[in-house]
């Protein structure tokens, strides 16, 4: 008997999983859709966007699928009226937080925030738009950081720290004032730690980080490097 | 220091104290210090010196005596006279009264009033009696006897059993059973374990932990060391906010004294057990009171919470099994070990045992620090201990639990103070802030105040809390100014429900409580604001229309 294998039920389907897997990983393997924005396979999960919250039978509160490990006999519900409503509201909060006008965005058509909104049938944002006036940092020779499009998923922070090993990106400030920074809040172009590898740009789910020279809807991100690097690293060990 | 040496120190200290006929206790905790008690102490010392009375009477700096609103406080022992609002100019009168054996009438604060009579002091048993900067006084008051009893007469399992029997629950606010938490950490097979004391008290109007640390720091060290022995930890941290400089200084002094006396550090009291404590300063983020954010901050990272599980007992500081308790929880431990779990469990209610320290503030006659048995009613606290509402105004609500708590109206004042009853009212025990409001307080404005706090203190990691608190604040701000539309109440409820159920940590999950509880009990005030009126008459509703 192999104690490392668990069987559980997701949306009424019996599935099996390794004991170290999370609900989100198992769901994706089985083509069960759970929305997420901060999660990206290959980076450490942080449970920050709260879109992947699921109902687990017997749990008193909703659990983030990206960090919750599977358990034997677990019964998971990934879709319900309540979950859908919460997810739409979280997306609305994101849209209202900064400036997400798709029609003028480099990532239009290639944006995870946009495609999730479409998929969850979000047609209106009923919270007032905040539209803060945030800077656009174009000091880097190849890349642009537009804080108005940032959703603070911290994928850039994690990929730079965990994969590239540069830790150029980090978060500054608290609450609604929080924003990602390069080095000690210096212009990106003056960063001494940045290797200009571009990994942050390509893991960014929105148009917050983009390559220079891209116009509206031209910034398609290439994420293939991440599973490749992860695989090569685990095999090299 | 062995048991015999401890007893000898206690005897010597008591003998030295009994050499002088009387003691003048001057409160040197933060609130009396800010009212000028340092100058009072100096004047008294000078006066005694000038009159050649130093062998007759000794002036002693002590911790909090509780009735902060009457500070600076001076107590004359053994007579037990208590003087309030003492100034340096009162020193001659006070010293003269010592000779005459009669109190100074004009300064007297009656000690038989309900404020003192209705309290039960366990955590604060030494506060106001011992000099917090002298280890000998703590020992003379029975200090460190519980630690030596635990180390020499009890196994770690025995200690955990007593704590479990006592029924003690976490005093940081959530009320998790302390014995259960300890046994979880004790069961971990991790070779390296930590004990952490959460002294990052941040609720507006709350100062219980500060008072305990300033008044009796050795008690917290003793509680932590007993905990470390019980769970098998060798290193501990006290995470205390840098805004408490006096508490930090006294803690550091206490740690140094305890180490020098062999009551902390290597081979404590000659036993094989070693335990070291370090102080870590918080840089002013409220969220660092949340245990996972606190640990991140101790590790030197940005203080943001992470999802639990894994809980600190399993995966804590640097990935090791960690026990985190609040200051007041640790301060209860010496009493429990000394008197036994059964004795402790006789105090309080069926589910909430022992006492609770509250910082009584706001619109009551007596403000200050109190310790009451669990199960006492809010009415008794406010009207008997607190002395009621000043200036002939009417009581409106009492706020417990700070920004995570709620407002309780008049009709629920007879509710017993325990974890479950307060939660059922939409508030919470919290760490012990208790703010009383009279009819001149607008509840919409109050909710706005707390949301402004939560918005500013949200760490920004999870979306519902980061953006939700900002929207909640702005909705309330528009309501206060009379610029809100009819949709706003529904939106407040909708956002509150979202935050409560989807936020990552306790800060976001409980941030809507001030809104929800005021909507529940004072909805008419919200509706009045929508109609362009403020029932309390304090908001300039419609001024901008």
> Does residue B136 lie in a domain region?
no
CB pairs under 8 A between A and B: 93
CATH class of A5-79: alpha beta
Q: How many residues does chain A have?
A: 237
Q: Are A184 and A191 contacting, i.e. CB atoms less than 8 angstroms apart?
A: no
Q: Are B282 and B242 contacting, i.e. CB atoms less than 8 angstroms apart?
A: yes
Nearest CA in chain A to B507: A175
- For residue B287, which residues of chain A lie inside 8 Å, CB to CB? 174
Can you give the residue range of the structural domain that contains B449? 443-530
CATH architecture of A102-223: 2-Layer Sandwich (3.30)
| A96/B471 touch (CB, cutoff 8 Å), yes or no | yes
Distance CA B434, CA B454 (A): 18
| B504/A48 touch (CB, cutoff 8 Å), yes or no | yes
Nearest CA in chain B to A178: B460
- For residue B504, which residues of chain A lie inside 8 Å, CB to CB? 47-48, 50, 64
| B459/A174 touch (CB, cutoff 8 Å), yes or no | yes
B→A interface, C-beta within 8 Å: 285, 287, 302, 306-307, 455-471, 474, 491, 494-495, 498, 501-504
pTM: 0.95
| B458/A64 touch (CB, cutoff 8 Å), yes or no | no
Nearest CA in chain A to B500: A61
Domain count of chain B? 4
Q: Are B43 and B91 contacting, i.e. CB atoms less than 8 angstroms apart?
A: yes
Read off the CATH number of the domain in which B78 is found.
3.40.30.10
Do B459 and B408 share a structural domain? Answer: no
Tokens at A228, concatenated: 């490749």
Nearest CA in chain A to B307: A47
Torsion of CA A160, A163, A165, A167, to 10 degrees: 20
Q: Are B123 and B60 contacting, i.e. CB atoms less than 8 angstroms apart?
A: no
| B501/A128 touch (CB, cutoff 8 Å), yes or no | no
Do B177 and B321 share a structural domain? Answer: yes
At residue B257's C-alpha, the angle toward residues B254 and B261, to 5°, is: 135
Q: What pLDDT sits at residue A232?
A: 86
Nearest to B463 among A67, A94, A128 (CB): A94
Do B199 and B326 share a structural domain? Answer: yes
Q: What pLDDT sits at residue A237?
A: 66
Q: Is the dihedral of CA B465, B468, B470, B476 positive or negative?
A: negative
Please tell me the distance in Å from B455's CA to the nearest CA on chain A: 6
Q: Give the sheet arrangement for strand B395-400, strand by strand.
A: B368-373, B355-362, B433-438, B395-400, B406-409
| B463/A49 touch (CB, cutoff 8 Å), yes or no | yes
Choose the mutation target among A47, A49, A50, A116 for the interface with B, i.e. most B CBs under 10 Å: A50
Do B160 and B32 share a structural domain? Answer: no
pLDDT above 80 for A236: no
Tokens at B476, concatenated: 């309330």
Nearest CA in chain A to B304: A174
Distance CA B152, CA B173 (A): 33
A→B interface, C-beta within 8 Å: 46-50, 53, 61-62, 64, 67-68, 86, 89-90, 93-94, 96-97, 126-128, 130, 151-152, 170-171, 173-178
What 3-state class would DSSP assign to B226? helix
Query: What pairing do the DSSP bridges indicate for beta strands B395-400 and B22-27?
Result: unpaired
Q: Where are the domains of chain A?
A: 5-79, 102-223
Q: What pLDDT sits at residue A50?
A: 98
Nearest to A174 among B457, B494, B501 (CB): B457
Do B324 and B274 share a structural domain? Answer: yes
Beta-bridge mates of residue B449: none
Q: What pLDDT sits at residue A3?
A: 62
| B504/A152 touch (CB, cutoff 8 Å), yes or no | no
Nearest to A176 among B285, B467, B495 (CB): B467
Q: What pLDDT sits at residue B541?
A: 81
| A48/B462 touch (CB, cutoff 8 Å), yes or no | yes
Do B338 and B213 share a structural domain? Answer: yes
Q: What pLDDT sits at residue B545?
A: 46
Beta-bridge mates of residue B407: B399
Domain end position, chosen among B345, B365, B386: B345
Q: What pLDDT sits at residue A2?
A: 56
> Does residue B540 lie in a domain region?
no
Please tell me the distance in Å from A97's CA to the nearest CA on chain B: 6
Residue B95 per-residue DSSP state: H
Do B227 and B323 share a structural domain? Answer: yes
Q: Are B147 and B265 contacting, i.e. CB atoms less than 8 angstroms apart?
A: no
- For residue A126, which residues of chain B lie inside 8 Å, CB to CB? 491
ipTM exceeds 0.90: yes
Please enumerate in sequence order all residues whose Cβ is within 8 A of that of A81, keeping only pairs 6 or more positions apart, or say none.
Answer: none
Mean pLDDT to the nearest integer, A211-230: 93
Please tell me the distance in Å from B226's CA to the nearest CA on chain A: 33
Q: What pLDDT sits at residue A213?
A: 94
Q: Could you tell me which of B348, B355, B397, B415 has the C-alpha nearest to residue B520?
A: B397
Tokens at A42, concatenated: 């290959």
Please tell me the distance in Å from B259's CA to the nearest CA on chain A: 38
Do B269 and B149 share a structural domain? Answer: yes
Q: Is the dihedral of CA B93, B96, B97, B98 positive or negative?
A: positive
Sequential pLDDT tens for chain B (545 residues): 889 999 999 999 999 999 998 999 999 999 999 999 999 999 999 999 999 988 899 999 999 999 999 989 999 998 889 999 999 999 999 999 988 888 999 999 999 999 999 999 999 999 999 999 999 999 999 999 999 999 999 999 999 999 999 999 999 888 999 999 999 999 999 999 999 999 999 998 899 999 999 999 999 999 999 999 999 999 999 999 999 999 999 999 999 999 999 999 999 999 999 999 999 999 989 999 999 999 999 999 999 999 999 999 999 999 999 999 999 999 999 999 999 999 999 999 999 999 999 999 999 999 999 999 999 999 999 999 999 999 999 999 999 998 989 999 999 999 999 999 999 998 888 889 999 999 999 999 999 999 999 999 999 999 999 999 999 999 999 999 999 988 999 999 999 999 999 999 999 999 999 999 999 999 999 999 999 999 999 998 865 44
pLDDT above 50 for A1: no
| B306/A47 touch (CB, cutoff 8 Å), yes or no | yes
Distances (CA, A) of B26 to B17, B141, B200, B538: 16, 18, 27, 39
| B459/A175 touch (CB, cutoff 8 Å), yes or no | yes
Distance CA B510, CA B404 (A): 5
Percent of chain A with pLDDT over 70: 98
Nearest to B460 among A47, A61, A178 (CB): A178
Nearest CA in chain A to B503: A50
Do B323 and B195 share a structural domain? Answer: yes
Do B312 and B386 share a structural domain? Answer: no
- For residue B462, which residues of chain A lie inside 8 Å, CB to CB? 47-50
Q: Are B516 and B474 contacting, i.e. CB atoms less than 8 angstroms apart?
A: no
Please enumerate in sequence order all residues whose Cβ is within 8 A of that of A200, keeping only pairs 6 or more positions apart, or say none.
Answer: A143, A155, A156, A159, A160, A168, A169, A209
At residue B99's C-alpha, the angle toward residues B93 and B103, to 5°, is: 55
Beta-sheet strands, E only, within B242-378:
276-282, 321-326, 355-362, 368-373
Q: Are B447 and B542 contacting, i.e. CB atoms less than 8 angstroms apart?
A: no
Distance CA B286, CA B215 (A): 23
Do B396 and B262 share a structural domain? Answer: no
Choose the mutation target among B483, B502, B512 for the interface with A, i.e. most A CBs under 10 Å: B502
Q: Could you tell me which of A72, A60, A98 has the C-alpha nearest to residue A16?
A: A72
Choose the mutation target among B466, B495, B500 for the interface with A, i.e. most A CBs under 10 Å: B466
Read off the CATH number of the domain in which B397 is found.
3.10.20.600
Read off the CATH number of the domain in which B500 is found.
1.20.1440.230
- For residue B474, which residues of chain A lie inside 8 Å, CB to CB? 128
């Amino acid at each position: 008997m192999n104690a490392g294998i668990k069987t559980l039920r997701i949306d009424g389907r019996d599935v099996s999983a390794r004991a170290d897997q999370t609900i989100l990983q198992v769901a994706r393997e089985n083509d069960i859709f759970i929305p997420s924005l901060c999660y990206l396979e290959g980076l450490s999960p942080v449970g920050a966007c709260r879109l992947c919250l699921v109902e687990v039978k017997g749990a008193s509160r909703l659990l983030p699928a990206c960090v919750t490990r599977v358990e034997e006999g677990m019964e998971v519900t990934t879709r319900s009226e309540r979950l859908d409503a919460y997810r739409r509201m979280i997306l609305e909060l994101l849209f209202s937080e900064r400036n997400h006008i798709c029609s003028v965005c480099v990532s239009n058509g290639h944006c995870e925030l946009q495609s999730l909104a479409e998929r969850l049938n979000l047609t209106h944002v009923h919270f007032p738009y905040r539209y803060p006036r945030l800077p656009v940092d174009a000091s880097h020779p190849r890349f642009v950081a537009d804080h108005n499009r940032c959703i603070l998923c911290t994928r850039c922070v994690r990929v730079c720290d965990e994969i590239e090993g540069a830790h150029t990106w980090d978060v500054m400030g608290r609450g609604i004032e929080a924003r990602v920074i390069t080095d000690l809040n210096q212009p990106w172009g003056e960063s001494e730690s940045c290797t200009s590898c571009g990994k942050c740009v390509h893991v960014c789910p929105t148009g917050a980080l983009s390559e220079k020279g891209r116009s509206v809807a031209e910034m398609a991100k290439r994420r293939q490097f991440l599973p490749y690097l992860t695989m090569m690293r685990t095999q090299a060990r | 220091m062995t048991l015999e040496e401890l007893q000898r120190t206690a005897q010597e200290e008591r003998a030295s104290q009994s050499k002088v006929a009387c003691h003048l206790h001057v409160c040197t905790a933060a609130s009396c210090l800010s009212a000028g008690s340092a100058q009072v102490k100096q004047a008294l010392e000078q006066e005694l010196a000038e009159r050649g009375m130093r062998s007759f009477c000794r002036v002693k700096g002590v911790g909090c005596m509780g009735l902060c609103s009457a500070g600076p406080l001076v107590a004359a022992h053994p007579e037990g006279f208590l003087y309030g609002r003492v100034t340096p100019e009162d020193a001659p009168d006070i010293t003269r009264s010592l000779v005459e054996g009669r109190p100074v009438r004009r300064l007297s604060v009656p000690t038989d009033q309900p404020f003192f009579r209705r309290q039960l002091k366990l955590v604060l048993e030494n506060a106001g009696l011992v000099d917090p900067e002298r280890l000998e006084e703590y020992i003379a008051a029975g200090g460190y006897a519980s630690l030596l009893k635990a180390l020499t007469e009890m196994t770690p399992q025995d200690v955990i059993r007593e704590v479990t029997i006592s029924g003690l629950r976490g005093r940081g606010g959530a009320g998790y059973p302390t014995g259960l938490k300890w046994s979880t950490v004790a069961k971990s097979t991790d070779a390296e374990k930590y004990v952490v004391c959460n002294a990052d008290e941040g609720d507006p109007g709350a100062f219980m932990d500060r008072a305990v640390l300033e008044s009796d720091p050795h008690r917290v060290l003793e509680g932590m060391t007993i905990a470390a022995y019980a769970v098998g930890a060798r290193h501990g941290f006290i995470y205390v906010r840098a805004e408490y400089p006096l508490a930090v200084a006294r803690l550091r002094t206490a740690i140094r004294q305890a180490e020098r006396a062999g009551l902390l550090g290597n081979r404590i009291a000659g036993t094989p057990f070693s335990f070291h404590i370090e102080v870590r300063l918080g840089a002013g983020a409220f969220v660092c009171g949340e245990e996972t954010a606190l640990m991140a901050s101790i590790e030197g990272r940005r203080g943001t919470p992470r999802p639990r599980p894994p809980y600190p007992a399993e995966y804590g500081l640097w990935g090791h099994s960690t026990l985190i308790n609040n200051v007041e929880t640790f301060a209860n431990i010496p009493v429990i070990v000394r008197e036994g779990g059964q004795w402790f469990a006789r105090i309080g209610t069926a589910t909430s045992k022992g006492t609770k320290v509250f910082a009584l503030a706001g619109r009551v006659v007596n403000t200050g620090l109190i310790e009451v048995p669990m199960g006492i009613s809010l009415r008794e606290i406010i009207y008997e201990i607190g002395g009621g509402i000043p200036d002939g105004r009417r009581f409106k609500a009492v706020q417990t639990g700070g920004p995570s708590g709620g407002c309780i109206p008049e009709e629920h004042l007879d509710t017993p103070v325990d974890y479950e009853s307060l939660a059922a009212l939409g508030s919470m025990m919290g760490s012990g802030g208790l703010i009383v409001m009279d009819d001149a307080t607008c509840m919409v404005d109050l909710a706005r105040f707390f949301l402004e706090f939560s918005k500013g203190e949200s760490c920004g990691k999870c979306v519902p809390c980061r953006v939700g608190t900002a929207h909640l604040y702005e909705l309330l701000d528009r309501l206060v100014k009379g610029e809100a539309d009819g949709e706003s109440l529904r939106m407040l409820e909708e956002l509150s429900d979202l935050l409560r159920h989807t936020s990552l940590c306790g800060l976001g999950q409980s941030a809507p409580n001030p809104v929800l509880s005021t909507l529940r009990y004072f909805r008419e005030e919200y509706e009045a604001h929508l109609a362009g009126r403020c029932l309390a008459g304090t908001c300039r509703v419609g001024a901008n229309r």
